[in-house]
Amino acid sequence: MTDNPTQTTQLIPVLQDWWSQHARALPWRKTGISAWEILVSEVMSQQTPMTRVAPYWTQWITQWPTPADCANAPVASILLAWGNLGYPSRALRLQTCAKVLSTTYDNTVPNTYEELIQLPGIGRYTASAVLSFALHQRITVVDTNIRRVLSRAFLGQESIGGTVTSTDYQLAEKLLPYDAQQQHMPASVLWNQCIMEIGATTCTSKNTLCSECPLSSVCKWKKQGFPGKGIHTTRKTQKWKGTNRQLRGLILKALREQASHGIEHPHLTVQDLQSLWDNADQIHICCTALEQEKLVSRNSVGDITFPDD
């Protein structure tokens, strides 16, 4: 099979059948989901598995079904709803994005790449994903999973990980099928969703379930005996215990736990902080960083609370 859209379009019926049988039932994949709801799912899924995101997404959309709802929410509520998703600054950027959508775009998500890429917290991947998955436009979408599957199946090469490159986008653009309606979505949308799902569930960095993969019959990597399998495909595990990242997470978790127990104004005293961590200098560094990122507020005696609006 040559690497061009005309040829890959021929795979669409196979992918359609595979998708209907194997796609995970994620809540934002239901019919009638809005572009705002897709945008929220994509922001939440940055560096976070989709299955972990699902309950947080459901709660978020229930509380704030439109950008304006999110824009007007108290910052403390935003951080509480973000829960354990990690990288909580994403929650604040998402609310800032909602404010722009509610004021500049009449509470809707714009339908052009040029407008989406200018929104707070929205990068190339997220803008493309919203245009494809929510607005059904023919546009190249590339994340780690898509890059891995395309590299293996159509180049016969193991993906080495790292940042997505222009070469990765060029390959994806060459392969993106031309649009022809396939039941509920155009061919390019089905392609993007299927390739991403294959990478997440069937052709992962550690496991290759070739017997279940709809690309198995055309996969160059398989035909060549899986050259380079497992080499440089994952990042080294980052140290966690004892790091500032761990302490920051503990501080925010402690505030969330107070709120979950009905405390109206969650706060941590200096003594509370010292009971969490025995390094005063590290506490100061982390509290200062959290305050600078507007994830917490700190009073004159050093008590920590959620930020005021």
Query: What positions carry a catalytic annotation?
Result: 42
Q: Cα–Cα distances in Å, from 13 out to 16, 18, 120, 187, 256? A: 5, 9, 37, 9, 47
List all residues 6 or more positions away from 31 whose beta carbon is below 8 Å from its beta carbon: 184
Which amino acid is residue 200, in one-letter code?
Answer: A
Q: Is the dihedral of CA 169, 175, 178, 179 positive or negative?
A: negative
Contact status, residue 64 vs residue 73, Cβ threshold 8 Å: yes
Beta bridge partners of 304: 268, 298
Cα 135–Cα 140–Cα 142 angle in degrees, nearest 5: 110
Contact status, residue 57 vs residue 66, Cβ threshold 8 Å: no
* Dihedral of the alpha carbons of 56, 57, 58, 60, in degrees to the nearest 10: 90
Query: Closest Cα partner for 152 from 251, 82, 221?
Result: 221
Beta bridge partners of 208: 203
Concatenated DSSP letters of 283-294: HHHHHHHHHHTT
What strands, in cross-sheet order, belong to the sheet with 267-268?
A: 267-268, 304-305, 297-298
Q: Cα–Cα distances in Å, from 263 out to 143, 260, 289, 292? A: 40, 7, 25, 25
Most distant CA pair in the chain: distance in Å? 68
